Amino acid sequence: MHLDLTYRNIQATDALKDRAERKFRKVSKHLREPIEAHLVLRVEKHRHMAEATVAASGDVFKAHEESADMYTTIDGLMNKLERVVRRHRERKIDRAHSGSGDASDGFSALKSEADENEA
């Protein structure tokens, strides 16, 4: 797991870095290695904004959040990112489990009807 932080118009502090890393660990539990993440924290006037781009095992996830406080922004961003990643993982699992049955195929039912008509 590699997390790269970029600060724009804001002082880089250990507290912000620790908060982002701690919250990102929750997101990384749902991803497979290698994980490359880029987080941009910036301030424009009174708006605190955060953008994240995460690349993991061939998939790319992006999220954006803004609020009046940087810690709240980081929390909201990581919640959004976790939701996106979790939903992607669940969809992937559902797709893998869905097409395995013969009865749900539809083709096998047509094939058996054709065999009965021939007899």
Structure tokens at 70: 């940087």
Q: Residue 87 domain-assigned?
A: yes
Q: Would 64 be classed as within a structural domain? A: yes
Q: pTM for the complete prediction?
A: 0.75
Give, in order, the Cα–Cα distances in Å from 25 to each of 1, 18, 38, 73, 101.
Answer: 9, 11, 14, 17, 37
Classify residue 105: in a domain, yes or no. Answer: no
Distance CA 88, CA 80 (A): 12
Asked if the model's pLDDT at residue 109 lies above 70, the reply is no
Whether 91 is in a domain gets the answer yes
Sheet holding 47-56, edge to edge: 2-8, 35-44, 47-56, 59-67
Number of structural domains found in the chain:
1
User: 20 lies in which domain range?
Assistant: 2-98
CA distance 111 to 119: 13
Dump pLDDT digits (tens) for 6-51: 999 999 899 999 999 999 998 888 888 888 999 999 999 899 999 9
Does residue 119 form part of some domain?
no
Does 38 map to a domain? yes
CATH assignment of the domain containing 18? 3.30.160.100
